[in-house]
Amino acid sequence: QSALTQPASVSGSPGQSITISCTGTSSDVGVYNYVSWFQQHPGKAPKLMIFEVSIRPSGVSSRFSGSKSGSTASLTISGLQAEDEADYYCTSFTTSNTWVFGGGTKVTVL
Amino acid sequence: EVQLVESGGGLVQPGGSLRLSCVASGFTFSSYWMHWVRQAPGKGLVWVSRISGDGSSTNYADSATGRFTSSRHNAMNTLYLQVDGLRVEDTAVYFCARGSSGYGNFDLWGQGTLVTVSS
């Protein structure tokens, strides 16, 4: 199972919006709405930010939103803040009853 | 407090074995699927395995099949990962994670335990 494809890095200025893409195949993102997004700060455990494509867990800022079109899912961070600087990973359930992660995207706040 | 705490990592020679543990607290452990996810130094997250709430069903990534075994002891609120035939490329931080549904939604993570495979 190949990793989902994410851009290596995305940057933006405070207050701006950025979008991170996550491209899979017809065996994962394209066939299931079980896509999640995680935020990971250096040396810390990942934190669930979005699940089932677009649902925010309790306590996650409404500045984070998710969507999907075909085999590509996206995470948008609006009103970018310094604390949003971190690595972000997508993951999807697959037709093999396994999960596949993306390679990760480093978000830099300029 | 709702939390997961891993232990059991360490330095092991190639071909060696380890048993990682993950102790859960603050929630009904037996009601949840549990997962292992690893992260090599400076690299991304990789899903390793999952086990059902009653321990009757498991799934593994291709890289783990035949060498890794996930189990659980619900009375002790503990998840295990037996890792055998370790290779240098298995060097990673191993996280346990709770699946809030049968389709993932890894909503709670431990802090991870580092496994280093080196001669």
Closest CA to B35 of B117, B103, B114: B103
Is A97 in contact with B112 (Cβ distance < 8 A)? no
Mean pLDDT to the nearest integer, B15-42? 97
Tens of pLDDT, residue by residue over A1-60, are 789 999 999 999 999 999 999 999 999 999 999 999 999 999 999 999 999 999 999 999
- Least confident range of A3-12, A83-92, B93-102: B93-102
B45 and A104: CB-CB below 8 Å? Answer: yes
Q: What is the pLDDT of residues B86-96, one digit of tens each?
A: 999 999 999 99
State the distance between the two ends of chain A, measured CA to CA, in whole angstroms.
35
pLDDT(B102) > 80: no
- Decide if B81 contacts B94 (C-beta within 8 A): yes
Residues in chain A with CB shorter than 8 Å from the CB of B107 are 48, 51, 57
